[in-house]
Amino acid sequence: MPNLNKVFLIGNLTRDPELRYVPSGTAVATFGLAINRVFTTQGGERKEETCFVRVVVWGKQAESCSQYLAKGSLVFVEGRLVYRAWESEGQRRTSLEVRADRVQFLDRSKMSSTQAPEGERDEHVAVIHEEDIISDTPSPTDEEVPF
């Protein structure tokens, strides 16, 4: 039976990306993402709900996210769900997070207001693909995860 683990999210960062480096030198950035949903109940009442998701980005893409994104930035994230479990202070902890394969900046970035040519400032969109990451970067192991 086939399996599929694919996530597509559009939302706003809940905090600035946090950039760290694992002992091998690979960059890893984490940020929270808030995804809003507006719907109408059967009684006609309009409601809004928000889903908060932790996103983890690795490699060159992590450095770009740290450099160009800030709290409130609108992004499109394509990735997969990753379940982690560990022990901390004698308690078992778990986390379900999104491992981003691609992050697309959907609104003005720090670069668009300072470095883009005059006529292109409002239309600047930065796209970072998994293929853009240096191919000899090893995949992170559980021991290298800094959080």
Give the domain extent around 103: 7-40+47-134
Q: Is 101 a domain residue?
A: yes
Position 107 scores a pLDDT of 83
Q: Is 140 a domain residue?
A: no
pLDDT above 50 for 33: yes
3-class secondary structure, 87: strand
Position 146 scores a pLDDT of 56
The rounded distance, in Å, linking the Cα atoms of 140 and 112 is 31
Q: Domain holding 129: CATH number?
A: 2.40.50.140
Q: Is 105 a domain residue?
A: yes
Tens digit of pLDDT for each residue in 113-126? 444 444 443 433 44
